[in-house]
Amino acid sequence: MPSLEADSPVLALTLRQPWASAIAYGTKRIENRDWPTDHRGLILIHAGRTLDPNAHDAPLARPFLRRPFPRGAVVAVARLDGCHPDDGWCTLWSARGRYHWRLTDVIPLAVPLPVPGARGLWTPPAGLLASPLLTDALEASRG
């Protein structure tokens, strides 16, 4: 019997920079949100066009602010395998008072894939998942 995750659609999540790059190219495996999610499965990590104005005050963001980073593009595929309310500092990337979305199996794309983003968890446009830039990363994340 297939798991619910196997039947889940691939969704996308837009993050401000440098956080999308910290997931794609760094060690960030917790995404902090004001809202929980029941979704489990593969998600596209989309780098939004805006920079988080608080990033300059965050020591973990500094390495990603020192180099160019993509904007307005999918930068990675990840598996969203859990979500829990703040239970203390579960990782260095966790924020107090937020929901911690646990990401695993992160595969950065060889080349960022430009596409408009959206708020919340969103459904990628028709045909995007068939892009040659995404197919290898999706297969690798599926394991």
Tell me the C-alpha distance between 38 and 92, whole Å: 23
Domain count across the chain: 1
The CATH number given to whatever domain includes residue 69 is 2.30.130.30
Tell me the C-alpha distance between 43 and 80, whole Å: 7
DSSP string across 43-74 = EEEEEEEEE-TTGGG-GGGHHHHTS----SEE
pLDDT tens digits for range 55-99: 888 888 888 887 788 999 999 999 999 999 988 777 778 888 889
Domain residues for the domain of 48 are 4-142
Q: Residues with Cβ < 8 Å from 23, sequence gap 6 or more?
A: 15, 29, 31, 45, 75, 76, 78, 103, 106
Residue 18, preceding peptide bond in cis (omega within 30° of 0): yes
What does pTM read for this prediction? 0.89
